[in-house]
Amino acid sequence: MLDRTSQIAAVTPVCGRALQITRAGRVLLDVSDIEFGERSVTAIVGPNGAGKSMLIKTLCGLMRPDRGNVTWNGRPPARSDYRRLGMLLQHPVLLRRSALANVAYALKCAGHDRSRAERLALAALEHAGLSHIAATSARRLSGGEKQRLAMARAMAMRPEILFLDEPTASLDPASTLRIEEMIDKAREEGTSIVLVTHDMAQARRLADTVMLMHRGGIVEHAPTQRFFDAPATDEARAFAAGEILI
């Protein structure tokens, strides 16, 4: 099941229905119907405050919507399902342990015994080109290494679906490239990917479809090519052209 060459069999569909989050009378998220489950890469774009992070956190069960509901595989999110669903937080938390122990810990949480977890963790680090820092304290790594380690940790479980919240924000071009390579690998293994990004070029490079959010709602969701070449809405047209959406 965790053979790196094998494909992930099926993807747990993650659905949101009539999701709404309101704070102090302001609607921050208002999404009527959304589903991720196909084997593809979706980029979610939009200005700050559009509700991108809020949407994927809600879908991952990290935020509770004021209205509506989230289902995984048709059921409410359950703790045990986190081994099938992964998320890379915008500011991932690395434990105060070695890089290897960080990955092994996540695997143990997912139910692997100690020796298997360490073996898989080692493989995951190798896969991410991080073998050389396996014994280094995670908190002492550089920004780029930290992000790659967090990514490797999220991928080690071989999630069926992986949410990435601005994984390359504040990374230099070289580190960005390494992360994108890892995203590519995950896709090749059959993981469905949802990627929040401000980098339009990155969306073009990686995504099969692009979703534009604005003021808490989804404005447009289209295949990447069409999104950039023939957007259907004024907002998407403006955003793709690099104009500022307010």
Binding site for other proteins (CB under 8 A): 57, 60-62, 79-83, 86-87, 89, 92-93, 95-98, 100-101, 105-106, 109-110, 135-140
The answer to whether 85 and 8 are in contact (CB under 8 A) is no
Give, rounded to a whole angstrom, the gap between the first and last alpha carbons of the chain.
Answer: 46
Q: Whole-number minimum distance, CB 106 to other proteins, in Å?
A: 6
Q: What's the rounded Cα separation, in Å, for the pair 104 and 209?
A: 33
Tokens of 71: 């289902």
Q: Whole-number minimum distance, CB 232 to other proteins, in Å?
A: 34
Residues 129-166: b if buried by 16+ CB within 10 A, e if exposed: ebeebbeeebeebeebbbbbbbbbbbbbbbbbbbbbbb
Strands 14-23 and 67-72: antiparallel
- Shorter beta-carbon distance to other proteins: residue 23 or 140: 140
Q: Whole-number minimum distance, CB 137 to other proteins, in Å?
A: 3
Q: Whole-number minimum distance, CB 104 to other proteins, in Å?
A: 9
- Shorter beta-carbon distance to other proteins: residue 80 or 115: 80
- Shorter beta-carbon distance to other proteins: residue 163 or 239: 163
- Shorter beta-carbon distance to other proteins: residue 138 or 210: 138
